[in-house]
Structure 1
Amino acid sequence: MKTPIVSAPLLAAFLAMALTACGDRDEQEVRQWMKEVDATTRVSVKPLPEPKTFVPFAYASAGAADPFNPNKLLTGRDIARPGGGKAPDTSRRKEFLEGFPLDTMRMVGMLKKGRTVFALLQIDRAVYQVQAGQHLGQNYGLVTSVTEASVNVKETVQDASGEWVERIATLELQESKENTR
C-alpha cells in the first residue's frame, strides 16, 4: 500500500487558507456590536433608601424600684409568710392529666354531649376528653371553662417569695396541618 505524499506547496496553500479564516474580521464585528449595545443601553440603578434615624429612648427610672436590687427579694420574704396565699389542696388524689405539663397538651377539637362541653386534648398520640372542673397540668391546674376555640386553665404556683399565686393559662384550638381536598 502506497501512502500519498503531500507536496509542500499544497500544504503551504492549505495553511494559508486556514489562517485567513481565523482573521481579524469576526473580532471586529463583535467589537462593533458591543459598542452599539453599550451606546444604546441605559443603566438604571435605584437609589438606596435613606437610613432610618435612630431616636434614643430616655429611660426615666428616678422613682421606680431597681429590678436588680437583691433586697427586693429579701423584703418579699420578710413580709410574706412562705406558703401563704391560696395554697392548693395537696391532700386530694391527683387526676391522670396532672402528670403532664401544659406545654405538651394541644387542643384538637371540641365535643358536646347533651349540655356538657368537652375539649379534646392531644398528648403525644392519645386524645383525652376534658370538661370544666377537671384538673390537669403539673401546676395544680383547674379547667375553668371550655369553648369551641380554647380551654381556660387556672394554675396555682409559688412565686419567688413563696406566696401561692394564681395564673391563667389558655390552650387554644390547633388547626390541622393536613391538607384537605
Structure 2
Amino acid sequence: MKVLYLTGYKAFEFGIFKNDHEAVKYIKKAIEQRLLPMVEDGLEWVIISGQLGTELWGAEVVFALQEEYDQLKLGVLTPYLKQEESWNETNQEYYRSIVARADFVDSIFHKPYEGPQQLKIKNKYMVHKSDAMLIIFEDEKDGSAKYPYQEALKKAENQSYPIYQVNFDDLQMAAEESTWSEE
C-alpha cells in the first residue's frame, strides 16, 4: 500500500470545538495506533481533504511520524479553493499551519465552493487516488464521514480496497490505554 486516504468525523460532529480538548489526544492516539503498522510496512502517502477534525488531527500524527519515518508524506487535496474562508480565525490559522507543513497541496476544483456536487466528487476522487482508507466512523452514528465511507465500500466491491475503521470502542480503548500509561 502506497497511498492511504485518512478521513472521519469533523470536529463538531464529535462535539469538539477546540483542538486542546482532552478527547483530541485520544483520537490522535487511535489514529497513530492504526497508522504505525502501515508506515512500518512502507506506507508512503497519507492524503486528506483538509477538513477540521479527524483529517487535520491525523495530519498532526503524520507530522509526528515523519520525524522517524522520512518516507512518509502528507498530501492535502482540498475539494475547492479557499475552503477555510468561512471558518473562524483560530481554525483558519490551524488549517494554514497544517497546509504549510504538507508535502503536497492542491485543490480538486480550482475555483471556490459552488455546490455539494464538489464534495461528492471529492469523495470519489480521494477514494480513487488511494489504495486504502483509514476512517473514524461508526455505522450507527450519522455524519459527514458516511459519504466517503459509502464511496470506499463501492470501490471495495470491485477491487481490493481495505477500509480500516476506527469506531467509538476503539477511541474508548485508546483513552483507557492513555490513562493507564499516565498512572
TM-score, scaled relative to structure 1: 0.21
Instruction: Judging by fraction of residues, say which structure has more helix.
Output: 2
Which structure carries more relative contact order (alpha carbon 8 Å, separation 6+)? 2
Structure whose residues are more often strand by fraction: 1
